[in-house]
Structure formats: C-alpha cells, structure tokens
C-alpha cells in the first residue's frame, strides 16, 4: 500500500508515509482522516515522508488539487521529508497551494521534522 497514516500528538499531527505512486484510493483513505482531525483540532500539522515516491497517477493528481483547495487554511505546518532533489523542489512548488508553513527535510532530518511539527 503506497500510503500509511499515523496520528501523533493527540491527533494534532498526522504523519503520512508515502511510497510508490499515489492513486485515487489513497485520497479516499487520506481525505476523511484529515477532515476528521480538522473538525476536532481546527488546524493540524502534517508530515509527508516520501519513500521511493513516484508521484501521482492522473486521477490522484486531480484529487490532490481538490484536497489542496478544500484544506487551503486547515494545515498549520507541513513537513515534507525525502531524499531526492525533485522532492525538495516539489515542497517549494506546493507552498503556493496552502497557507501552511512548508519546510523540506532530508530523510536524515526526520527527527528534526517531527520536533518542528510538534513545537509550539
């Protein structure tokens, strides 16, 4: 399965570990979890940990656009963790689609990313 979800910090932080290529069904699983956490906490923090990530299939790319529009103001901080130059570039590109404070972390900085997400 290309996406694994884990709630941290009482549900205020959602960690999503992503591998392979995201598909429509991944958003069917991911979006309701985000909806519920936003309903509970108003704003949440999210980590996308990319492991051997290959992007999106076409339907999932459209799901991502809809997700970004719906949750434009709901995510306070977004940590993107990866190990490829294009993933770092993607973190800069996606920052225009959200009000979240977006930061990229190299995989060796996973602990720092978690600390940043949980900091007041």
For the record, the structure tokens of 10 come out as 């009482």
CA quadruple 98, 67, 44, 15: dihedral sign = negative
pLDDT in tens, 6-59: 999 888 999 999 999 999 999 999 999 999 999 999 999 999 999 998 988 999
pLDDT in tens, 72-119: 999 999 999 999 888 888 888 888 889 999 999 999 999 999 999 999
Instruction: Tell me which residue of 5, 25, 1 sits closest to 13, measured CA to CA.
Output: 5
Domains in the chain (CATH in brackets) are 3-118 (3.40.50.10600)
């Amino acid at each position: 399965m290309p996406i694994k979800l884990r709630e941290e910090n009482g549900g205020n932080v959602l960690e999503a570990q992503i591998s392979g290529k995201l598909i429509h069904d991944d958003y069917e699983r991911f979006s309701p979890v985000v909806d519920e956490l936003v309903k509970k906490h108003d704003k949440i923090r999210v980590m996308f940990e990319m492991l051997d990530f290959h992007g999106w299939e076409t339907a999932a790319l459209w799901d991502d656009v809809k997700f970004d529009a719906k949750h434009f103001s709901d995510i306070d901080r977004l940590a993107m963790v990866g190990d490829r130059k294009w993933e770092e570039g993607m973190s800069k590109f996606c920052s225009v689609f959200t009000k979240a404070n977006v930061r990229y972390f190299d995989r060796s900085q996973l602990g720092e990313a978690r600390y940043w997400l949980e900091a007041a």
